[in-house]
Amino acid sequence: MADAVFYQIFPDRFARSGKVDLGLRLDTWDEPPTHTGYKGGDLWGVIDKLDYLADLGINALWFNPIFQSASNHRYHTHDYFQVDPLLGGNEAFDAMIEAAHSRNIRVILDGVFNHASRGFFQFSDIAEHQEKSAFIDWFRVREFPIVPYDEDTPATYDAWWGLHALPVLNTDHEAVREFLWKVGTHWIERGADGWRLDVPNEIQTEGFWDEFRSRVRAVNPEAYLTGEIWHEATGWVGAHGPFDGVMNYPQTTATIAYGIGNRIVEEAIVDNNDYFVTPGLNAGAFADRIDWLMDLYGPSERTAMLNLLDSHDTGRIMSMAGGDHELVILCLAVLFTLPGAPCIYYGTEVGLEGGPDPDCRRGFPWDAMDSVPELTTAVKELIALRHATPALRSAEFERIGPMPGPDFGRTYVFARGAGAERVVVAINHADEADVAPVDAKTVAIDATLLWGTATRDADGALKMPPRSIGIWSAP
């Protein structure tokens, strides 16, 4: 994970291959996305674009759900053992795994095990036979009859967020647990390299995730497990939890609050109780927030975090920045230089915009690849720098400036690595230039500038132009 650079793919919106001929009625690729329409991206299309991703520097993919479902996002699972026919089915999955692995690209899948769907066979059986169903214990039904499609009245069974379409699985029932654990191992046996687990904190059954980890790791000891936890997650990782890392949303929000700050477009902010990107943070407050995160997790957990700027559940970073690619590059510099595995949401590298769901799930703009060349170049260069610089893939982190205290500062300065591999990173988020005094022992006058536009003056201070970055190697 320390060496991983992830790319998140929303399968319906990444690339059409033209190989899936099911007589589909598809939305136009470039029209605004909706909650219900399909655009027809598929796994064969992903295979066609793997060379593009490898050239970008990507060596790991995270797919939003790919299993059979009656929704374009596929979080409404019908069949956990079948890749959706609209994506090319199991044949396309096997071909995609082989093609990715041949390029040394790992693949993790999205596991939605808290809830299924109205089309899930065991739930359909209950809807058909009501209290006489053989699968009555697979779900928590409070009252019969259940009427899954009558959304004018509350569901009479446990449903995620009260949504009729998402019946919650009863993981206290042994048969349900065994079924889900089998799903977990089946796809690892078939070649997947790990799982991103959807809302794992909502499965309350004691020991469920510990056993999931044990069984998956018995198949592949290198399989990566990460959880969708939006807040601090010390009880979920390392020696105290079942996962290697989690989606590092607290770092996401801090990065946006610093890199974009009060310039953020509020209409692009997702409404989530754990998603705090306002008010903006100055360098001191941001440094304090990062120090808190670094203290939460040990070295191995730091490097296994899945770090991100945006996802299918948030507004896109380009829209939050109001289309200002310089601000996006500032945030990307933070993403690629702090500990943890960076994850790019598909299209970020070419400036794809979008507000909250469903707008953040637009079709990839293959016909407008060169619309923001400065941004695309910055992404490629930052990925290459991370691959080439051991310090940026280490767990070592040291705050250099500003001094502790939230009340001042434009430029955030920190170090990665140790000894001859030490690297110093400085980021000025402000629209004004800044001078950051730094001891010459920290950044020598003759240190090599690896990336960015910052410079050193004769006294050793860092001269930071507006919205600038400087990454220096040890002398």
137 is catalytic: no
**Ordered alpha helix ranges (H), 149-304:** 174-189, 208-219, 249-259, 283-296, 299-304
Q: What is the pLDDT of residues 162-217, one digit of tens each?
A: 999 999 999 999 999 999 999 999 999 999 999 999 999 999 999 999 999 999 99
Q: How much is the mean pLDDT over the chain? A: 95
Listed range (17-26, 127-136, 308-317, 356-365) with the worst mean pLDDT: 17-26
Which whole number is the average pLDDT over 423-434? 96
Angle, vertex CA 466, rays to CA 465 and CA 472, nearest 5: 45
| pLDDT value of position 97 | 98
What CATH number does the domain located at 395-473 have?
Answer: 2.60.40.1180
Q: Of the listed 12, 193, 228, 244, which one is catalytic?
A: 228
**Is 198 among the residues known to form the active site?**
yes
Structure confidence by residue, pLDDT tens digits, 371-424: 899 999 999 999 999 999 999 999 999 999 887 665 678 999 999 998 889 999
Which residues, in sequence order, are bridge partners of residue 157?
Answer: 141
User: Can you give 206-224 as a three-state secondary structure string?
Assistant: CCHHHHHHHHHHHHCCCCE
What pLDDT, in 10s, does the model give residues 213-228? 999 999 999 999 999 9
What percentage of the chain carries pLDDT values higher than 90? 91
346: nearest Cα among 362, 332, 359, 333: 362
- For strand 423-428 and strand 434-436, is the pairing parallel, antiparallel, or unpaired? unpaired
* Per-residue model confidence as pLDDT tens digits over 25-54: 999 999 999 999 999 999 999 999 999 999
Cα-based distances in Å from 185 to 29, 138, 165 = 35, 20, 26
What integer pLDDT is reported at residue 475 of this predicted model? 65
User: Which pLDDT score is estimated for 406?
Assistant: 59
Letter for the amino acid at 420? A
The model scores a pTM over 0.95: yes
Average pLDDT over residues 257-261: 98
| One fold for 6-391 and 395-473 | no
pLDDT for the residue 133: 98
Domain extent listing, the chain: 6-391, 395-473
Q: Name the catalytic one among 12, 42, 198, 244.
A: 198
Query: What is the CATH architecture of 6-391?
Result: Alpha-Beta Barrel (3.20)
The pLDDT of residue 66: 98
pLDDT at 459: 78
Pairwise pLDDT comparison (460 vs 348), residue with the higher score: 348
Query: Which residue, 422, 236, 228, is CA-closest to 343?
Result: 228
Residues 6+ away with beta carbon under 8 Å from 206: none
d(CA 443, CA 441): 6
- pLDDT surpassing 70 at residue 300: yes
Q: Check whether 310 has a pLDDT greater than 80.
A: yes
Task: Write out the DSSP string of 119-153.
Answer: TSHHHHHHHHHGGG-TTGGGB-B-SSS--TT-TTS
Percent of the chain with pLDDT over 70: 99
Residue 211: the pLDDT is 98
- Beta strand 423-428 with 468-473 is antiparallel
Cβ-Cβ contacts under 8 Å for 260 (sequence gap 6 or more): 277, 280, 320, 321, 327, 330, 331
